[in-house]
Structure 1
């Protein structure tokens, strides 16, 4: 059985995070069909995700975005996050938000690495949500992060 996975991304992002996520998903399983929907900006992601679920019949969606450094960019990212949460509740489907803020990295090289790595690691989370939720359960409380190093649990 093939599962439809939506990938929503933006032209505003400075790294093609979708290609990294798609490549990782295809490495993990042949049991998925990718449906990609690229929109101009981060605030367009919520409706793209909802359309992927309702019109394209995707079981889960990744929302990939790269907000800029400015205050207005952070506000837009917050608004997009709220829209993504609303879309999840309206559709009763997971939408995995994968945002990489431009000011998270020390330079453009690290920004590219971080964007691709976070997209790949969240693609793994999508795989586990679809095919092996017990894997995620056994990692609860371990301080795992997507992108930079894990922080670990408060107590061992």
Structure 2
């Protein structure tokens, strides 16, 4: 049975880990291991621990960078660490970040965080069990969270 790691943060203003787990359980029968850390810069080591110590096959890294320039830099650093972790383990980490300034208010932010976590959980299921579905979606302008943008036309 496939094992999915959920690395999430206490800093986020919505429990994206819970939403991802709910979506995974709703659409698959995978084992789930959750590891919650304080903030996004802690996610790379959480992901590595989920692979090394908990033997996960794939990990979702969920976090909410703040809206200030420093937060954008921290998000970039966290993303770089996540990429390094993928290269070190040769396994996918699905990064699910929602920046605090992506939505005008808390209600829409919560909606976006829930939707993006769920849609990326569906991507995890596709990567694990039906990768040809992703191949068919190539070039179709899929977005997680807000509406898909569709393919560019010539």
- Which range, TM-score by smaller chain? over 0.9
User: In the alignment, does 2:67 pair up with 1:73?
Assistant: no
- Alignment coverage as a number of residue pairs: 154
Deviation at 1:29, TM superposition (A): 1.0
* Cα deviations by residue, 1:80-127 (Å, 9 ceiling, x for unpaired): 000000000000000000000000001110000000000000000000
Aligned counterpart in structure 1 of residue 94 of structure 2, from 88, 93, 96: 96
Q: TM-score, normalised by structure 1?
A: 0.97
Aligned to 1:108: 106
Q: What's the secondary structure of 1:9's corresponding residue?
A: strand
RMSD: 0.8
Aligned to 2:3: 4
Partners of 1:146 and 1:84 in 2: CA distance: 19
- Runs of 4+ with deviation above 2 angstroms: none
Q: What's the secondary structure of 2:88's corresponding residue?
A: helix
Aligned to 1:18: 17
Aligned to 2:84: 86
* Cα deviations by residue, 1:50-80 (Å, 9 ceiling, x for unpaired): 1101111000000000000111111100000
Partners of 1:89 and 1:20 in 2: CA distance: 27
Aligned counterpart in structure 2 of residue 130 of structure 1, from 124, 128, 136: 128
Aligned to 1:49: 47
Partners of 2:58 and 2:27 in 1: CA distance: 16
Q: What's the secondary structure of 1:62's corresponding residue?
A: strand
